[in-house]
Amino acid sequence: MKTFIQTYARFIYPAVILVISLSIYFPYYGTPQAMFWDENYHVPNAQKYIDGVMYMEPHPPLGKLLMAVGEVWFGDNENVNKQALLATDYLTGDAAPPEMTYKGYRWPSTVMMALSVLFFYGIINCITQRAWLAAAFTSLVIFDNALVIHARAVHLDGIQLFFILAELYFFTRIVTSGKPIRLRDYVLLGTFIGLATSVKATSAIELLLLAMLFCVDQWNNIKQWNWQALIKRIAVTVPSGVLPAAAVFLGVFYVHIGLGEKIIDNRTYKASPEYINQIRMGDTWSLKTFSLGMRDNWKFMSEYADGVPRLDECKPDENGSYAMNWPLSSKTISYRWDKNTVDGKTVTQYKYLIGNPIVWFSIVGGIILSLSLVISRYIYNNPVKDEKLFYWICAFTGLYVSYMVAILQIERVMYLYHYFIPLIFGAINLALVFNYIYRDEVIANNKHTIINASLFAILVIAVFAFFSPFTYGFGLTEDQFELRNWFSFWKLQVVR
Partner 1 sequence: MNIQQLLNKNSIFTALIALIVILIGVRITPVSVDPVVKVMISKNRVGITNIYQQRDIEFTREVWVDVLDLEESSRFSHPKLGNIATYTDDFFVDVDHKITVKKSDNYRFMMGSDDGFSLRIDGKLICEHLGDRPFSVQPCMIFLNEGEHQVHISYFQGFGNSGFTVEYARGDEKPRWFGEDSSSVKF
Chain residues in the site for partner 1 (CB under 8 A): 343-346, 358, 437-438, 441, 446, 448-449, 451-452, 455-456, 459, 463, 466, 477-479, 482-484, 486, 496
Q: Which residue blocks in 177-218 are alpha helix, DSSP H?
A: 183-197, 207-217
CA 299 to the chain's CA centroid: 26
DSSP state for residue 409 in the 8-state scheme? T
- Give the chain's end-to-end CA distance (angstroms, integer): 55
Closest separation in Å from C-beta 152 to partner 1: 25
Q: Are the C-beta atoms of 435 and 130 separated by less than 8 Å?
A: yes
CA angle (71 as vertex; 200, 469 as ends), nearest 5: 75
Cα 375 to Cα 216, 324, 371, 379, 397, distances in angstroms: 21, 21, 6, 5, 12
Closest separation in Å from C-beta 478 to partner 1: 5
Q: Are the C-beta atoms of 430 and 139 separated by less than 8 Å?
A: no
DSSP state for residue 82 in the 8-state scheme? -
Closest separation in Å from C-beta 474 to partner 1: 16
Would you say 92 or 446 has its CB closer to partner 1? 446
3-state secondary structure of 204: helix
Closest separation in Å from C-beta 338 to partner 1: 16
Closest separation in Å from C-beta 6 to partner 1: 24
Would you say 143 or 192 has its CB closer to partner 1? 143
Would you say 198 or 356 has its CB closer to partner 1? 356
Would you say 325 or 346 has its CB closer to partner 1? 346
Closest separation in Å from C-beta 121 to partner 1: 22
User: Of 243, 143, 226, which Cα lies nearest the Cα of 471?
Assistant: 143
Contacts 24+ apart (CB under 8 A), 465-470: 467/145, 467/354, 467/356, 467/357, 468/145, 469/350, 470/145, 470/149, 470/350, 470/351, 470/352, 470/354
Closest separation in Å from C-beta 400 to partner 1: 22
Would you say 29 or 360 has its CB closer to partner 1? 360
Closest separation in Å from C-beta 379 to partner 1: 24
As a whole number of angstroms, the distance between CA 284 and CA 303 comes to 23
Q: Are the C-beta atoms of 442 and 130 separated by less than 8 Å?
A: yes
Closest separation in Å from C-beta 137 to partner 1: 14
Handedness of CA 440, 445, 449, 454 (dihedral sign): positive
Cα 196 to Cα 114, 191, 437, distances in angstroms: 16, 9, 33
Would you say 183 or 494 has its CB closer to partner 1? 494
DSSP state for residue 60 in the 8-state scheme? -
Closest separation in Å from C-beta 51 to partner 1: 45
Would you say 405 or 483 has its CB closer to partner 1? 483
HSE, side-chain direction, 13 A CA sphere, residue 47: 26
Would you say 10 or 339 has its CB closer to partner 1? 339
- Tell me which amino acid residue 384 is: V
Would you say 405 or 455 has its CB closer to partner 1? 455
The alpha carbons of the chain give a radius of gyration, in whole angstroms, of 24
Would you say 223 or 496 has its CB closer to partner 1? 496
- Cβ neighbour number for residue 451 with a 10 Å cutoff: 10
Q: Which residue blocks in 409-489 are alpha helix, DSSP H?
A: 420-437, 439-443, 447-472, 478-484
Would you say 263 or 437 has its CB closer to partner 1? 437
Closest separation in Å from C-beta 370 to partner 1: 17
